[in-house]
Amino acid sequence: MLDIAPKFQALLVFIEHRFYGESKPHNLAKTMGYLNSQQALADYAILIRSLKQNLSSESSPVVVFGGSYGGMLAAWFRLKYPHITIGALASSAPILQFDKIVPSSSFYDVVSQDFKDASLNCFEVIKKSWRELEVFSTMKDGLQELSKKFRTCKDLHAVYLASRWLETAYTDTAMVNYPTPANFMAPLPAYPVEEVRHVSEYKVVYFLYWLIHNETSSYNRCARSSTGFPLEASNLDRAFAAASLYYNYSCSENCFDIENQTDPHGLNGWYWQACTEMVMPISCSNQSMFQPFEYDEKVDQEDCLKEYGVKPRPHWITTEFGGHRIEMVLKRFGINIIFSNGMQDPWSREGVLKNISSSIIALVTKKGAHHTDLRAATKDDPEWLKEQRRQEVAEIEKWISEYYSDLRQEEQANVLHTNHHCCCTSDSDSAFSSSATMARRSGDCMRCLVIFAVVSALVVCGPALYWKFNKGFVGSTRTNSLCPPCVCDCPPPLSLLQIAPGLANLSITDCGSDDPELKQEMEKQFVDLLTEELKLQEAVADEHSRHMNVTLAEAKRVASQYQKEAEKCNAATEICESARERAEALLIKERKITSLWEKRARQSGWEGE
């Protein structure tokens, strides 16, 4: 987003979700009921409208972006508030992980497949390590031995804590299997799953087996060794080393606080939502590398009642936002949504992976991880990621272009409607205001203003003209009257002749001579109208100037780009020319050597071919 915002001359706004980060009420425990997706979407709608009003940009289009839960919100916001946003980019948005729409084992299936693709041996090592871990629960002093093996800061009180610690490392590593080094969930190298595979090859690039058994060893000291595992290393030893890659890639931790893990990513609010509305059933099949388990709705309810005193609502999300038969539903009323997914992301199979219509599209990459496309661009980004982003930008450009096209058509339609309304109205104020609107939107201000001013003048002066015409008619029938006919040949006021000399030829210029108040009001209205005309002309000129500045800036940008390309071509040409010159020099040198050897051969009796 930071990379493409300048291209669209866009204001980038990051809106914090209620009850996350610093957006928390004082009495958190008593207000948790207000933490839900519907309230969050309403927050966004109100904030966006208020922001546009304060910035005097109410006609500016809005595009929403989001990844993971944010991607779900982006898609739902587009569907719930189409009058506020023209489109949404929903990256890694598992909007189908509800109400049994997709298999509940999808998440762990993808994680297992990621590790299997990296190394089948690695997959098998992790799969076998769980059984070895369970043995410690039956051993005398097993927890103390396990604590020593896992280098915990404090002794463990349950084996499942170590199991959860390992599982989190594998799932999070798969989620952030980015093509470049990142520090999203934890500091990690590029393609960290590929780094973990060294475990299955009897090597640990960043963490040594002897580190597990050496109480005095330093991570900083062992950091870049390639020492392999000894033959007696167990699967659990290798699994621990693999997990250590996630938790301690920087080699800064001397021990692991497995039992008292903190909440560095602020997920406490999500646990509440998972117990109320975000009920996403997850299970683990026998085919995965994890310990298999089934989703138990009853146990889930009991845990939520115990923790928060609430029961989950498993059908609420599909009731509020839909999800079942999504292709059929969205095809009929949805528009302008991009669903992007990388198939290495554990949440990918719970998202939209096929195009629904020409404007609701799915961009799917084979190697992408969790919302990889929303990460900042780097020089090391692979070509498939660059292409995905190019497609997203092209789609957004189309949305914006269509929006402004529709806006122009609406304005033109309003102009035509205004023209019809003004020519037929009998209300002078409507005529004046409508003519000003038409002048503002059409740009043909002077002609429209005069036409509607005449129409308005006829309406306003109608009673006076009728009175004058009737008086003249009566006078003509009384030719024998003692009173001479009235001569009414008063010129219009000089100020009006100077302002609009074309009106001097109209027969109605002195229609208010018999009504001084009407005459004064007419003159005031003409002056106000033409003042407004000048303001509108100035506004049109300013708009044209702004448009030219934008066009000029774009032209400069394109010219700069072509200049850079030309410089690259020139540099390449110079390199080729230099290479050609060196080749010619070498050829001349070889010819001389060949000639010398040929001369010596002939001297030795060689007669040649």
Query: Among all residues, which ones are annotated catalytic?
Result: 68, 345, 370
Instruction: Show the tokens assigned to 458.
Output: 């006829």
Please list the helix, strand and coil fractions of the chain in percent, rounded to the nearest 5, in that order: 60, 5, 35
Backbone angles phi, psi at 66, to 5 degrees: -170, 150
Residue 593: Cβ-neighbour burial (10 angstroms; 0-12, 13-18, 19+):
exposed
Pair 538, 512: CB distance under 8 Å: no
Contacts of 196 (CB under 8 A, 6+ apart): 115, 118, 122, 173, 242, 245
Backbone angles phi, psi at 237, to 5 degrees: -60, -45
* CA gap 558, 453 in Å, rounded: 46
Q: Which long-range contacts (CB under 8 A, 24 or more apart) does 360-365 make?
A: 360/330, 360/331, 360/334, 360/335, 360/336, 361/337, 361/395, 362/338, 363/338, 363/339, 363/388, 363/391, 363/392, 364/340, 365/340, 365/341
Place of tokens 């997920």: 267
* CA gap 490, 508 in Å, rounded: 11
Contacts of 109 (CB under 8 A, 6+ apart): 103, 285, 287, 288, 349
* Strands 337-342 vs 87-91: parallel, antiparallel or unpaired: parallel
Instruction: Show the tokens assigned to 138.
Output: 């039956």
Strand partners, 64: 88
* CA gap 425, 460 in Å, rounded: 12
Instruction: Show the tokens assigned to 49.
Output: 């409208």
Pair 174, 193: CB distance under 8 Å: yes
Per DSSP, helices labelled H in 334-488 are 383-424, 428-442, 445-477
Pair 395, 372: CB distance under 8 Å: no
Query: 440-473: b or e for each residue (b if 16 or more CB lie within 10 Å)?
Result: bbbeebeebbbebbebbbeebbeebbeebeeeee
Query: Rg (Cα) of the chain, in Å, rounded?
Result: 39
Angle at 21 between CA 17 and CA 22, to 5 degrees: 100
In 3D space, the residue among 152, 5, 15 whose CA is nearest the CA of residue 73 turns out to be 15
Q: What is the DSSP string of 398-443?
A: HHHHHHHHHHHHHHHHHHHHHHHHHHH---HHHHHHHHHHHHHHHS
* CA gap 317, 406 in Å, rounded: 33
